[in-house]
Amino acid sequence: MDYLASVEIEPNVPATASVIWLHGLGSNGHDFEALLPHLQLEETSPIRFIFPHSPTLNVTINGNALMPAWYDIISLDTSRKINETQLMESAQKVIDLVEREISRGIPSERIILAGFSQGGAVVYQAGLSYSKPLAGILALSTYFPTAEIIQYSDVNHNMPIEIMHGSYDPVVIPKLGEMARDDVIKAGFKPHWRTYPMEHQVCMPQIEDISAWIKQTLS
Protein backbone atom coordinates (compact mmCIF):
# COMPACT_ATOMS: atom_id res chain seq x y z
CA MET A 1 0.00 0.00 0.00
CA ASP A 2 1.32 3.44 -0.96
CA TYR A 3 0.48 5.53 2.12
CA LEU A 4 0.76 9.30 2.39
CA ALA A 5 4.12 10.36 3.80
CA SER A 6 3.45 11.66 7.31
CA VAL A 7 4.97 13.11 10.43
CA GLU A 8 4.17 10.66 13.23
CA ILE A 9 4.46 11.57 16.90
CA GLU A 10 4.34 8.54 19.16
CA PRO A 11 3.13 8.83 22.77
CA ASN A 12 5.33 7.95 25.74
CA VAL A 13 3.12 4.94 26.43
CA PRO A 14 1.67 2.37 24.01
CA ALA A 15 -0.81 4.10 21.69
CA THR A 16 -4.49 3.29 22.16
CA ALA A 17 -5.86 6.20 20.09
CA SER A 18 -4.86 8.20 17.03
CA VAL A 19 -5.45 11.67 15.63
CA ILE A 20 -4.93 12.06 11.87
CA TRP A 21 -4.59 15.81 11.22
CA LEU A 22 -4.52 17.36 7.73
CA HIS A 23 -2.89 20.68 6.90
CA GLY A 24 -4.15 23.40 4.58
CA LEU A 25 -3.20 24.54 1.08
CA GLY A 26 0.50 25.23 0.54
CA SER A 27 1.58 23.79 3.88
CA ASN A 28 2.80 20.37 5.03
CA GLY A 29 2.54 17.85 7.83
CA HIS A 30 4.85 19.87 10.09
CA ASP A 31 2.35 22.75 10.25
CA PHE A 32 0.22 21.51 13.15
CA GLU A 33 2.98 19.44 14.72
CA ALA A 34 4.04 22.67 16.43
CA LEU A 35 0.71 22.82 18.28
CA LEU A 36 1.24 19.59 20.21
CA PRO A 37 3.04 21.13 23.22
CA HIS A 38 0.22 23.67 23.52
CA LEU A 39 -2.39 20.90 23.79
CA GLN A 40 -0.89 20.15 27.20
CA LEU A 41 -1.58 16.45 27.07
CA GLU A 42 -0.41 14.40 30.01
CA GLU A 43 2.86 12.49 29.77
CA THR A 44 0.82 9.30 29.94
CA SER A 45 -1.58 10.32 27.15
CA PRO A 46 -1.80 7.29 24.81
CA ILE A 47 -2.55 9.29 21.62
CA ARG A 48 -0.52 8.88 18.43
CA PHE A 49 -0.58 12.00 16.20
CA ILE A 50 -0.27 11.59 12.45
CA PHE A 51 0.25 14.65 10.25
CA PRO A 52 0.17 13.62 6.57
CA HIS A 53 1.85 15.57 3.80
CA SER A 54 -0.45 16.33 0.89
CA PRO A 55 0.46 15.60 -2.75
CA THR A 56 2.00 18.36 -4.87
CA LEU A 57 -0.47 19.68 -7.44
CA ASN A 58 -1.02 22.58 -9.82
CA VAL A 59 -3.46 25.02 -8.20
CA THR A 60 -5.50 27.11 -10.62
CA ILE A 61 -6.30 30.02 -8.27
CA ASN A 62 -2.57 30.47 -7.58
CA GLY A 63 -1.60 30.91 -11.22
CA ASN A 64 -1.46 27.15 -11.76
CA ALA A 65 1.60 27.03 -9.50
CA LEU A 66 2.82 23.66 -8.26
CA MET A 67 2.38 23.42 -4.47
CA PRO A 68 1.26 21.14 -1.65
CA ALA A 69 -2.50 20.68 -2.09
CA TRP A 70 -5.14 18.08 -1.38
CA TYR A 71 -6.98 19.11 -4.58
CA ASP A 72 -7.07 21.89 -7.16
CA ILE A 73 -9.22 24.96 -6.45
CA ILE A 74 -10.51 26.46 -9.68
CA SER A 75 -12.47 29.45 -8.34
CA LEU A 76 -12.83 31.22 -4.99
CA ASP A 77 -16.50 32.24 -5.15
CA THR A 78 -19.00 30.89 -2.63
CA SER A 79 -19.58 27.76 -4.71
CA ARG A 80 -15.84 26.96 -4.55
CA LYS A 81 -15.34 25.14 -7.83
CA ILE A 82 -12.78 22.40 -7.20
CA ASN A 83 -11.36 19.23 -8.69
CA GLU A 84 -13.68 16.74 -7.00
CA THR A 85 -11.78 13.73 -8.32
CA GLN A 86 -8.61 14.88 -6.57
CA LEU A 87 -10.50 15.55 -3.34
CA MET A 88 -11.99 12.05 -3.45
CA GLU A 89 -8.54 10.57 -4.05
CA SER A 90 -7.17 12.46 -1.04
CA ALA A 91 -10.11 11.30 1.08
CA GLN A 92 -9.37 7.70 0.13
CA LYS A 93 -5.72 8.20 1.12
CA VAL A 94 -6.92 9.38 4.54
CA ILE A 95 -9.17 6.34 4.86
CA ASP A 96 -6.12 4.21 3.99
CA LEU A 97 -4.32 5.80 6.97
CA VAL A 98 -7.31 5.00 9.19
CA GLU A 99 -7.20 1.39 8.03
CA ARG A 100 -3.48 1.27 8.75
CA GLU A 101 -4.13 2.49 12.31
CA ILE A 102 -6.71 -0.26 12.75
CA SER A 103 -4.15 -2.80 11.54
CA ARG A 104 -1.74 -1.42 14.16
CA GLY A 105 -4.24 -2.19 16.89
CA ILE A 106 -6.13 1.12 17.22
CA PRO A 107 -9.93 0.61 17.18
CA SER A 108 -11.70 2.82 14.64
CA GLU A 109 -13.77 4.26 17.52
CA ARG A 110 -10.51 5.68 18.92
CA ILE A 111 -9.47 7.56 15.76
CA ILE A 112 -10.13 11.28 15.27
CA LEU A 113 -9.91 12.94 11.85
CA ALA A 114 -8.90 16.61 11.98
CA GLY A 115 -8.31 19.08 9.17
CA PHE A 116 -7.66 22.76 8.54
CA SER A 117 -9.08 24.56 5.47
CA GLN A 118 -8.49 22.25 2.45
CA GLY A 119 -7.60 19.48 4.88
CA GLY A 120 -10.93 19.95 6.63
CA ALA A 121 -12.81 19.57 3.35
CA VAL A 122 -11.06 16.23 2.83
CA VAL A 123 -11.84 15.18 6.40
CA TYR A 124 -15.56 15.93 5.93
CA GLN A 125 -15.61 13.66 2.87
CA ALA A 126 -13.51 10.89 4.41
CA GLY A 127 -15.05 10.85 7.87
CA LEU A 128 -18.71 11.23 6.97
CA SER A 129 -18.57 8.51 4.32
CA TYR A 130 -16.39 6.02 6.20
CA SER A 131 -18.00 2.65 6.81
CA LYS A 132 -16.66 2.13 10.35
CA PRO A 133 -17.36 4.16 13.51
CA LEU A 134 -14.88 6.93 14.28
CA ALA A 135 -14.16 8.84 17.49
CA GLY A 136 -14.92 12.23 15.94
CA ILE A 137 -14.22 14.94 13.37
CA LEU A 138 -12.45 18.24 14.04
CA ALA A 139 -13.14 20.72 11.22
CA LEU A 140 -11.05 23.91 11.38
CA SER A 141 -11.67 26.99 9.23
CA THR A 142 -13.06 24.85 6.45
CA TYR A 143 -16.00 24.09 4.16
CA PHE A 144 -17.78 21.07 2.69
CA PRO A 145 -17.54 21.14 -1.12
CA THR A 146 -18.75 17.54 -1.62
CA ALA A 147 -21.92 17.92 0.47
CA GLU A 148 -24.13 17.39 -2.61
CA ILE A 149 -22.43 14.20 -3.80
CA ILE A 150 -21.18 12.44 -0.66
CA GLN A 151 -22.54 9.01 0.21
CA TYR A 152 -23.05 9.28 3.97
CA SER A 153 -22.36 6.34 6.25
CA ASP A 154 -25.00 5.61 8.88
CA VAL A 155 -22.53 4.24 11.42
CA ASN A 156 -21.13 7.67 12.36
CA HIS A 157 -24.34 9.64 12.91
CA ASN A 158 -23.69 9.96 16.65
CA MET A 159 -19.99 10.80 16.59
CA PRO A 160 -18.83 14.21 17.88
CA ILE A 161 -18.22 16.78 15.14
CA GLU A 162 -16.47 19.94 16.32
CA ILE A 163 -16.49 22.85 13.84
CA MET A 164 -14.35 25.91 14.56
CA HIS A 165 -14.08 29.05 12.44
CA GLY A 166 -12.61 32.56 12.53
CA SER A 167 -15.21 35.33 12.56
CA TYR A 168 -12.97 37.46 10.31
CA ASP A 169 -11.68 34.72 7.99
CA PRO A 170 -11.13 36.31 4.55
CA VAL A 171 -9.99 33.04 2.90
CA VAL A 172 -12.75 30.61 3.89
CA ILE A 173 -15.40 33.13 4.84
CA PRO A 174 -17.58 32.28 7.85
CA LYS A 175 -20.57 31.78 5.53
CA LEU A 176 -18.85 28.73 4.02
CA GLY A 177 -18.28 27.26 7.46
CA GLU A 178 -21.91 27.88 8.37
CA MET A 179 -23.05 26.22 5.14
CA ALA A 180 -20.94 23.16 6.00
CA ARG A 181 -22.47 23.06 9.49
CA ASP A 182 -25.98 23.30 8.05
CA ASP A 183 -25.31 20.56 5.48
CA VAL A 184 -24.05 18.27 8.23
CA ILE A 185 -27.15 19.00 10.33
CA LYS A 186 -29.42 18.29 7.36
CA ALA A 187 -27.73 14.91 6.99
CA GLY A 188 -28.74 14.01 10.54
CA PHE A 189 -25.52 14.75 12.42
CA LYS A 190 -25.25 16.99 15.49
CA PRO A 191 -22.16 19.20 15.06
CA HIS A 192 -20.96 21.73 17.61
CA TRP A 193 -20.13 25.16 16.15
CA ARG A 194 -17.66 27.64 17.65
CA THR A 195 -16.27 30.92 16.34
CA TYR A 196 -13.23 32.92 17.41
CA PRO A 197 -12.25 36.55 16.75
CA MET A 198 -9.52 35.65 14.25
CA GLU A 199 -8.79 35.34 10.52
CA HIS A 200 -7.64 32.18 8.66
CA GLN A 201 -5.52 30.82 11.47
CA VAL A 202 -5.67 29.29 14.93
CA CYS A 203 -5.57 31.14 18.26
CA MET A 204 -4.73 30.18 21.85
CA PRO A 205 -8.32 30.10 23.18
CA GLN A 206 -9.17 27.78 20.30
CA ILE A 207 -6.15 25.57 20.99
CA GLU A 208 -7.31 25.26 24.60
CA ASP A 209 -10.76 24.22 23.34
CA ILE A 210 -9.21 21.72 20.93
CA SER A 211 -7.21 20.23 23.79
CA ALA A 212 -10.30 19.86 25.98
CA TRP A 213 -12.30 18.37 23.09
CA ILE A 214 -9.63 15.79 22.22
CA LYS A 215 -9.28 14.78 25.87
CA GLN A 216 -13.04 14.44 26.26
CA THR A 217 -13.52 12.59 22.97
CA LEU A 218 -10.74 10.11 23.65
CA SER A 219 -11.26 9.76 27.40
Q: Provide the residue type at 141 as one letter.
A: S
Q: Are 128 and 153 in contact (CB under 8 A)?
A: yes
Round to whole Å and give the CA distance between 21 and 137.
10
Taking residue 154's Cβ as centre, other Cβ atoms within 10 Å add up to 7
The single residue of 117, 141, 165, 183 carrying the catalytic annotation is 117
Determine which one of 27, 90, 165, 169 is catalytic: 169
* Active-site residue identified among 53, 96, 153, 200: 200
Active site residue 117: yes
Residue 16, CA distances (Å) to 47, 106, 120, 192, 199 in order: 6, 6, 24, 25, 34
Task: For the chain, list the strands marked E by DSSP.
Answer: 6-9, 17-22, 47-52, 56-59, 65-68, 111-116, 136-140, 161-166, 192-196
Residue 40 identity: Q
Map residue 143 onto helix, strand or coil.
Answer: coil
Q: Cα–Cα distance between 213 and 205 in angstroms, integer?
A: 12
DSSP run (H or E) holding 178: helix 174-186
169 is catalytic: yes
Q: Which positions are annotated as active-site residues?
A: 117, 169, 200
